[in-house]
Structures are given as structure tokens and as C-alpha cells.
Amino acid sequence: MAALALPMRRHSVLPGFGLALGFALLYLAFIVLIPLSAAFLKTFTISWDAFWNAVTAPRVLASYKLTFGASFLAALINGVFGLLIAWVLVRYPFPGKRLVDALVDLPFALPTAVAGIALTALYAQNGWIGRFLPFKVSFTPLGVLVALTFIGLPFVVRTVQPVLEDLQKELEEAAATLGASRWQTFTLVIFPALMPALLTGFTLAFARALGEYGSVIFIAGNMPMVSEITSLLIITKLEQYDYTGATAIAVVMLVTAFVLLLLINLLQAWARRRQGR
Amino acid sequence: MSALPSDIVIVRAAPPSSFDEDAPATAPPAAPTRIPAAVGEPAWARRLLITAAMLFLSMFLFVPLVAVFVQAFAKGIGVYWAALVDADALSALKLTLIAAIIAVPLNLVFGVAAAWAIAKFDFRGKNILLTLIDLPFSVSPVIAGLIYVLIFGLQGWFGEWLRDHDLKIIFAVPGIVLATIFVTFPFIARELIPLMQAQGEEQEEAARVLGASGVQILWRVTLPNVKWALLYGVILCNARAMGEFGAVSVVSGHVRGVTNTLPLHIEILYNEYQFAAAFAVASLLAALALVTLVLKYMLERRVKASLEKGASE
């Protein structure tokens, strides 16, 4: 890292560069980089075959299917309703709007364990919401979807909202003047402008859902092969002192998360270019 | 998945909206709004969209939030109070506070140092550094706990050495603090960096030319300029530090009264079917979340204003 961070600028009159950067790099290395590399180094101690078997065992595959599937669906639901909520918050006046706007961030602020027990109680068969539903939600894969929808809710709203606020009214007026219907204006003018932000929000919600643990374990029921998410499987393996097995699965999830991080950065760069135009 | 299309397609059948602008008197009286009709939706469509949004938010946000407090008092104020002053609950509260009191200041110092280096100086690898700072946000909490087990756990790199020296990190307080630091790592840095970048270094350079020392510049120029963003970052960092569950769960070992934080205490109570007690403790954390949201809301505009001011200077 130190080699990458050599100063290469004209001399600055400000002091403290070496100290500040040195401390930041040291802290970053000790808290984040060295511990994370431990996960990768641990997997090098086992053979490729052992690694492959650990990450493709049927129970593990079932957990990927649930985790990725529910995360994708939850992000999709948040894509649709996040866009709707952002639209309503930006475009329409209604009583209590500022309160609603502030509460959208609740899933960021509410501890996941609290969200988990609250959602479980509500969506249980005798719960306030669950009793009106014809199917079981708590303690089934559907419960996982509910929890992941909750924790991903703010992402799409908060990425789409500022873009919608900055959208030039003139473009819509021009479209209307040229004879476009409101629906045509939305699909051909507004929606394309929101697309980069929408995709960024979707990917953020998806990435967040993949790693979620706290809210899901209460509501999922945690049945192996059915409603067991990958994060829980990692913990189960740890509790059985199967450290290599746990780490192997963790590395798969880490690599996925890094790929998604890269994708999010690319999407945001794209969004900035679109907005800057 | 197409709640929007069906609502809006019908707008075409509504009275020609472009006429409304010329004759505002004929506009539907139910829609007293500044939005010109040509680029707005009819009142019924607006109401429909608002209702749909509120319905969704109710099912996933409002009702769960209300439920926490209702369930907490379901068995009366006596049970509620007993759950809060229970010895295990108090020791969990203490540990939660300890973790936050250590993690937040450390990440604050890191945030200021990283922002100072990144915003006020140019160096190679700056973008890589920015990405690395955000890295903990994309790591699953469970994995954040796991990596410390791999290093400090009994089978880990330093496991034997720690045992020989009678030191305990995993399944003890230091592990909980470390995991908390990891998951809250980027919060303050990512609020400070964009703001300090937008503000540039002219004011600091002026102070320097006038003879101020580095410490004086930091205390009298830089920190006052970023105080709202700093507070904003601290509040978010603290909320996460006190509420973290997954990472802490892995390294805690769940020893009642010793290595349990409030979120872990909630889990134990819940698994023992002490629902009212679990929700009572949960209501504390939910109240903290609400306070966080209020402060966040109040600070947000100040942070935005100072960002715009910094960018225009």
C-alpha cells in the first residue's frame, strides 16, 4: 500500500500528510485488510477439490438458491415500490409527507434483530398481518423475502429520489407539447433518465440482502435445504468447528460481494455521466 | 410487477390535459397544486399512487415499528420495566455502550485522518484507497465476525499464543469491540471525504500562511467547517455500533451477563419465548433508531448546504 501512496504532487504548504495517511493506512490494514486476507489465506490451506466439495454440497447449494433468489426478488420488489415511493415523495403533496420521508430510512437505523422479531410477530399466522394472508409467511422462504424487502427498502428510494428532484420539468413539458401522452412521457422521457439510479439502487439492495443475517434468522424458520440462508450456514459450520468449510463458503460470498461492489461503482459512474449531460 | 402502467395508461383517456393550462378555471377543484396539468397526473391517479405507496410502507415499515412498542407493553408496564432493569439486560446495555464508546471515537479519528489525506493532498492510489474504505459495507456481518475468529480464535493465527498468555479476544469483550469497529468502519470517513474535497484547501492554506500550526488549522478551520457532516457520521456510526447483530453474534459466545450486547440479549429472550421482555429491550433500540432518524433528518439539510457552499466557493 505504501508504494501505491507515494506523494507525487507539487509541494503542499499544509502539514500532516504523512501522519494522516500513515495512520489511515495502518488502521485500514489492521482492521480490514489483514483480517479479510485471513479468509482467503485460510482457503489456500485446503486442496481445490476439498474447497469445491465444501462450496457445492447440496445443503450449501440450496442455501445459495434461497439467498440469491430471495435477495433478487426482494430487490425487484424494492425496485418497483422504491420508484413508486420516490415518485410520490418528490411529485405529490400529502399530509405527513416529511414524516414519511424521514421514516424511509428506518431500515438503516433499526437494529436488524429488532426488525427480525417485529416482522416475525406480524407475519406469523396469528399476527396482525399474517392472519389476513391465506398462506404462511413466517417460518417459510416467504418470510426470508419479507425480511430482505424490509432491509433493502431505502436503497432504491434514496438513489432515485435526488435524480427525480433534479429532473428538468422542461423535458416533460416539451414531450407534452409534442403530443406525447403522460404514459409516453413517463416511459420514453422520465424512465430512461431514472434508469441508472434505479439500477444502482437495485444492485445496492441486492448486495445488502445477500449478506443479511439478523433480521432473517428470526423469521425464516431455518430448516436445512428449505429456509436456511448462506450466512446462517456459515455460522452453523463455525459452531461445529468446521472452520475451513465455513471459510470456503464465506470466500464465495466475499467474491460475489466484491464483484457486485465493482458493478455498483461502474453503475454510479454511468449515472454521474448521464446526470452531468 | 406493473402497478404503474395500468394506473397511468388510462390518463390518456382523461380530458385533454394541455387545455387545462389555458383554462385553469375548468381544472378539477380537487387538485389545488402547483404542478401544471400537462406534466402532472389527474387527481385520482395521484391518490391511487399515494395510497399504493403508503400501503406498501405500512406493511413493511410503519406497522412493524408500531408493533415493537405495542408488544413491549403487551403484558403491562410492570413486565416492561422488569425486563429493562433485569441484571442481564443491564450488563448487555453496558457492553453495548462500551463497544460504541470505543468504536465510534476510533473510527472518528480514522475518518478525520483519511479525509485530511484524501481531500487536501494528491497522491497515487487515491481511488483504490477510497474503494478500500468502503469495503466493510459490502462484507456480510457474519463474515466480518468470521475473519476475527480466523485470526484470534483458538484455531486461528494467534490462537495458541493468546491462550499461552491467558488472553481472550474471541468470545470476549475485545472481539465484540473489534467486530463493531469493522462494521462501522466507513461511516464517518465517507461523510467527511466528499465534503472536505468540495471545500478544497484554500482556507487551510491561508491559515498556514498566517502562521497557524497543523493542530490550529485542524481545530480552528477544518473541523468547524465540517462539524455538521462529522456529527452526522457519528450518529450513523453510533446507531450501527449499538445495533449490530450478525458480526457480534459470531464473536460473542453468548455468555449471559458477560458477552451479550442488547441485540444478542433480545435474541436469547425471544428464543426463550419471553416475547414481552424481548420486545421491551427491542423498544429501547427502536427508540434509539427513532432518535437517530430525527437527528439525521435535522442534520441532513445542514450537511447538504455546506456541501453546496463548499462546491460553489
Instruction: Express each pLDDT in A145-173 by its tens digit.
Output: 999 999 999 999 999 999 999 988 888 88
Grid cell listed for A270: 454511468
- Please name the residue of chain A whose CA is at the shortest distance from the CA of residue B179: A31
Residues in chain A: 277
- Please name the residue of chain B whose CA is at the shortest distance from the CA of residue A42: B150
On the question of pLDDT at B162 being above 80, the answer is yes
Say yes or no: A228 contacts chain B, CB-CB below 8 A.
Answer: no
Rounded to whole angstroms, how far apart are CA atoms B38 and A177? 8
B142 to A211: CB separation less than 8 angstroms, yes or no = yes
Mean pLDDT of B4-22: 39
- Provide the shortest C-alpha distance from residue B110 to chain A (in Å): 6
In B83-122, the residues whose Cβ lies within 8 Å of chain A are 106, 109-110, 112-114, 116-117, 120-122
- Provide the shortest C-alpha distance from residue A201 to chain B (in Å): 14
SS3 state of residue B169 = coil
pLDDT at A13: 84
Please enumerate in sequence order all residues whose Cβ is within 8 A of that of B243, keeping only pairs 6 or more positions apart, or say none: A109, A110, A111, A112, A113, A114, B263, B285, B288, B289
Q: What is the CA radius of gyration of chain B?
A: 26
pLDDT tier at B24, thresholds 50, 70, 90 = very low
User: Which chain B residues are within 8 Å of A39, Cβ to Cβ?
Assistant: 143, 146-147, 150
On the question of pLDDT at A203 being above 90, the answer is yes
In A55-74, the residues whose Cβ lies within 8 Å of chain B are none
- Provide the shortest C-alpha distance from residue A78 to chain B (in Å): 10
pLDDT digits (tens, 9 = 90+) for B127-142: 899 989 999 998 999 9
- Provide the shortest C-alpha distance from residue A4 to chain B (in Å): 5
A6 to B3: CB separation less than 8 angstroms, yes or no = no
In A105-124, the residues whose Cβ lies within 8 Å of chain B are 105-115, 117-119, 121-122
On the question of pLDDT at B15 being above 60, the answer is no
Q: What phi and psi values does residue B14 have, to the nearest 5 degrees? A: -70, 165
Q: What angle do CA A29, A30, A31 make, to 5 degrees?
A: 100
Among B103, B100, B126, smallest CA distance to B114 is for B126
pLDDT at B302: 87
Among A59, A27, A13, smallest CA distance to B184 is for A27
pLDDT tier at B313, thresholds 50, 70, 90 = low
pLDDT at A223: 87
pLDDT at B157: 87
Cell 445459495 maps to which residue? A64
A84 to B217: CB separation less than 8 angstroms, yes or no = no
Alpha helices (H) in B13-86, listed in sequence order? 17-20, 43-57, 63-72, 76-85
Among B272, B234, B259, B268, smallest CA distance to B94 is for B259
pLDDT at B300: 87
Q: Are A141 and A71 in contact (CB under 8 A)?
A: no
Grid cell listed for B309: 457552499
pLDDT at B152: 93
pLDDT tier at B203, thresholds 50, 70, 90 = very high
Please enumerate in sequence order all residues whose Cβ is within 8 A of that of B31, keeping only pairs 6 or more positions apart, or say none: B40, B42, B43, B46
User: Which chain A residues are within 8 Å of B213, Cβ to Cβ?
Assistant: 15
Q: Are A205 and A75 in contact (CB under 8 A)?
A: yes
**DSSP per residue, B105-166:** HHHHHHHHHHHHHHHH--BTTHHHHHHHHHHHHHS-HHHHHHHHHHHHSTTSTTHHHHHHTT
**Strands of A191-253, DSSP E:** none
Cell 463497544 maps to which residue? B99
Our measurement of the distance from residue B261's CA atom to the centroid of its chain's CA atoms, rounded to an integer in Å, reads 18
pLDDT digits (tens, 9 = 90+) for B60-70: 999 999 999 99
pLDDT tier at A233, thresholds 50, 70, 90 = very high
The angle that helices A34-44 and B141-152 make with each other, rounded to 10 degrees, is 70
In A10-29, the residues whose Cβ lies within 8 Å of chain B are 12-17, 19-21, 23-25, 27-28
Say yes or no: B171 contacts chain A, CB-CB below 8 A.
Answer: no
Beta-bridged to residue B123, according to DSSP, are A7
pLDDT tier at B310, thresholds 50, 70, 90 = confident
Residue A273 burial by Cβ neighbours in a 10 Å radius (0-12, 13-18, 19+): exposed
Among A71, A107, A110, A105, smallest CA distance to A86 is for A105
pLDDT tier at B112, thresholds 50, 70, 90 = very high
Grid cell listed for A90: 418528490
pLDDT at B88: 93
On the question of pLDDT at A53 being above 60, the answer is yes
pLDDT digits (tens, 9 = 90+) for B218-247: 999 999 999 999 999 999 999 999 999 999
Query: Which of B10, B39, B75 should be substituted to probe chain A, the one whose Cβ sees the most A Cβ atoms within 10 Å?
Result: B39
On the question of pLDDT at A5 being above 70, the answer is no
B155 to A243: CB separation less than 8 angstroms, yes or no = yes
Cell 476510533 maps to which residue? B106
pTM: 0.87
pLDDT at B303: 87
Say yes or no: A99 contacts chain B, CB-CB below 8 A.
Answer: no
Mean pLDDT of A103-126: 94
**Virtual CA dihedral for A118, A119, A121, A122, nearest 10 degrees?**
110
Picking from A27, A118, A182, the nearest residue to B68 by CB comes out as: A118
Higher pLDDT, B8 or A58: A58
